[in-house]
């Protein structure tokens, strides 16, 4: 028997003072149970934070319990929802590297610098862990008996891992046959109950929403405002790594636009507490085949229309981004840029990133491909300092990588493709291959 959905107020829960408010109508919402969208108007919710007037950079991460201080998310606790220590489920997420590589600057057309913040170095290999540590901690604080999401990729693996760490059962709903092999393997391995629904993603999510309104099932989907609080720490950690010196541009892939929304909120908060003194421009890069936000922006925010999404970059293959209003707010705040790139541009940029030894999932490479386009078009000056966000690991969508290098995508070899060769078990043949590798 599944417990019924709790009704507010929930006595005795340690999160009675957590508050949220609607972005659109301002309605205040209590944060002591699983929350979705505004009960009054259906708008997106923001967690309400009582920020201090000033945060001393030297004080960040100080005075925290060791297990929390080691997390690249929870060390920024003064800028996050006030969840009790005992509820926090951490796997030392975050703490991701910031790489600089002159080859990537050159690829982007920059005489300045191009760095990449690699979120694929999180425990389950994507940025989703930053949001999930906050989402699952909130679930635990509210006494949730089971957590759930609908996902075909990084989210499912992340939820499964954090639920396992918390000892809470997890339910992952996927449309039939629409999940990447690696992500399915992770999700099953971490012990989540995986349910394949006959139908598409929207149908799977609708079914899950129906379940969560009737029963005490904590929905950890992408509009969950607590997850977005965790995703802010990509920006916090990046700025700390830069010594709080603001780059000219932060370029990131735009799919469901949760990061875009979170980044703008993060930057506004850093400015408010005096940790930075100006805002960088955000540059949001969408795939041509999944670009409703770019069209919305290009039309001066006058008309928004969802589209049927198609791109090789599965993590941004989204035709109706859930966080569109949040993302618009972020672009407006930072006088940001929005552009699109083709699948070929994405895969060529990915090959360039991979070839440096860094490596990333296809969607991540949109950050470099888009920077290159924006520099070429004069929207980013050549001497700018740009940081691109890599959202996931090179092992995501491995089939696309192999197809690219084998020339199976469109039958033609792409620049930088690296096709394995086959030889007889013969020393002379092997010597010829080594000679080619050295001189060819």
Q: What is the DSSP string of 185-214?
A: HHHHHTT-EEEEESS-HHHHHHHHHHHHHH
* Residues pairing with 386 in the sheet: 114, 249
DSSP per-residue codes, 163-180: HHHHT--EEEEEETT-S-
Residue 41 interacting with Zn ion (CB under 5 A) = yes
In the complex with Zn ion, the residue whose CB is nearer, 43 or 416, is 43
Which residue in 6, 14, 36, 43 binds Zn ion (CB under 5 A)? 43
Which residue in 15, 29, 38, 174 binds Zn ion (CB under 5 A)?
38
What is the distance between the alpha carbons of residues 5 and 25, in angstroms, rounded to a whole number?
25
Interacting stretch for Zn ion, rule CB under 5 A, among 5-13, 40-48, 103-111, 190-198?
40-48
- Is 40 a residue that touches Zn ion (CB under 5 A)? yes
Closest CA to 55 of 278, 235, 240, 260: 240
Strand 385-390 relative to strand 249-253, pairing: parallel
Sheet (strand 45-47) strand order = 28-30, 19-22, 45-47
CA dist 86 to 10, 23, 24, 90, 176, Å? 18, 30, 33, 11, 37
Is residue 16 at the binding interface for Zn ion, with CB under 5 A as the rule?
no
325 counts as binding Zn ion under rule CB under 5 A: no
Least gap, CB of 338 to Zn ion (angstroms) = 25
CB of 161 to Zn ion, least distance (A): 33
> Considering only 35-43, 158-166, 186-194, 344-352, which stretch makes contact with Zn ion by CB under 5 A?
35-43
Q: In 3D, which of 80, 122, 100 has the Cα closest to residue 269?
A: 80
Q: Which is nearer to Zn ion, 224 or 339 (CB)?
A: 224
Closest CB 41 distance from Zn ion, rounded Å: 3
Q: Which helix (H) or strand (E) holds 129?
A: helix 128-141
Among 22, 88, 148, 171, binds Zn ion (CB under 5 A): 22
Residues in contact with Zn ion, total (CB under 5 A)?
A: 8
Least Å distance, CB 44 to Zn ion, is: 9
Q: Is 402 in the site for Zn ion (CB under 5 A)?
A: no
**Of 27, 92, 145, 356, which one interacts with Zn ion (CB under 5 A)?**
27
Alpha-carbon distance of 334 to 249, in angstroms, equals: 10
Q: Which of residues 235-264 bind Zn ion (CB under 5 A)?
A: none
Please pick, from the candidates 2, 16, 17, 25, the single residue that binds Zn ion as defined by CB under 5 A: 25
Q: What is the binding site for Zn ion (CB under 5 A)?
A: 22, 24-25, 27, 38, 40-41, 43
């Amino acid at each position: 028997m599944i417990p019924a959905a709790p009704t507010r107020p929930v006595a005795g829960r340690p999160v009675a003072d957590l508050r949220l408010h609607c972005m659109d109508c301002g309605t205040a919402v209590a944060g002591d149970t699983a929350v979705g969208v505004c009960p009054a108007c259906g708008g997106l919710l923001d967690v309400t934070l009582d920020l201090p007037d000033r945060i001393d950079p030297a004080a960040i991460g100080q005075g925290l319990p060791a297990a929390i201080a080691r997390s690249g998310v929870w060390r920024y606790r003064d800028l996050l929802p006030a969840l009790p220590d005992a509820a926090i489920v951490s796997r030392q997420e975050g703490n991701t590297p910031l790489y600089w590589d002159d080859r990537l600057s050159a690829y982007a057309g920059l005489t300045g610098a191009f760095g990449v913040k690699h979120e694929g170095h999180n425990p389950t290999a994507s940025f989703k862990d930053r949001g999930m540590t906050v989402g699952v901690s909130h679930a635990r604080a509210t006494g949730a008996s089971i957590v759930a999401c609908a996902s075909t990729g990084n989210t499912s693996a992340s939820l499964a891992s954090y639920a396992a760490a918390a000892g809470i059962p997890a339910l992952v709903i996927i449309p039939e046959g629409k999940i990447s092999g690696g992500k399915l393997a992770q999700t099953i391995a971490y012990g989540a109950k995986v349910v394949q629904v006959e139908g598409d993603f929207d149908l799977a999510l609708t079914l899950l929403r129906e379940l969560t309104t009737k029963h005490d099932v904590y929905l950890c989907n992408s509009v969950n405002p607590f997850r977005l609080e965790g995703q802010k720490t990509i920006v916090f950690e990046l700025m700390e790594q830069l010594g709080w010196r603001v780059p000219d541009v932060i370029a990131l892939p735009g799919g469901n636009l949760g990061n875009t929304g979170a980044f703008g909120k993060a930057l506004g908060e850093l400015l408010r507490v005096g940790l930075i003194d100006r805002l960088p421009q955000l540059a949001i890069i969408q795939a041509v085949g999944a670009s409703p936000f770019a069209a919305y922006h290009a039309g001066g925010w006058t008309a928004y229309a969802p589209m049927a999404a198609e791109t090789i970059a599965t993590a941004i293959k989204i035709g109706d981004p859930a966080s569109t209003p949040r993302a618009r707010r972020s672009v407006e705040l930072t006088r940001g840029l929005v552009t699109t790139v083709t699948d070929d541009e994405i895969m060529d940029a990915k090959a360039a990133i991979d070839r440096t030894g860094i490596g990333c999932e296809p969607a991540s490479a949109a950050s470099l491909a888009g920077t290159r386009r924006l520099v070429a078009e004069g929207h980013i000056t050549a001497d700018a300092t740009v940081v691109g966000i890599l959202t996931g690991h090179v092992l995501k969508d491995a089939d696309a990588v192999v197809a690219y290098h084998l020339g199976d995508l469109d039958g033609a070899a792409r620049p930088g493709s690296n096709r394995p060769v086959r030889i007889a078990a013969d020393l002379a043949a092997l010597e010829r291959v080594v000679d080619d590798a050295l001189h060819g």
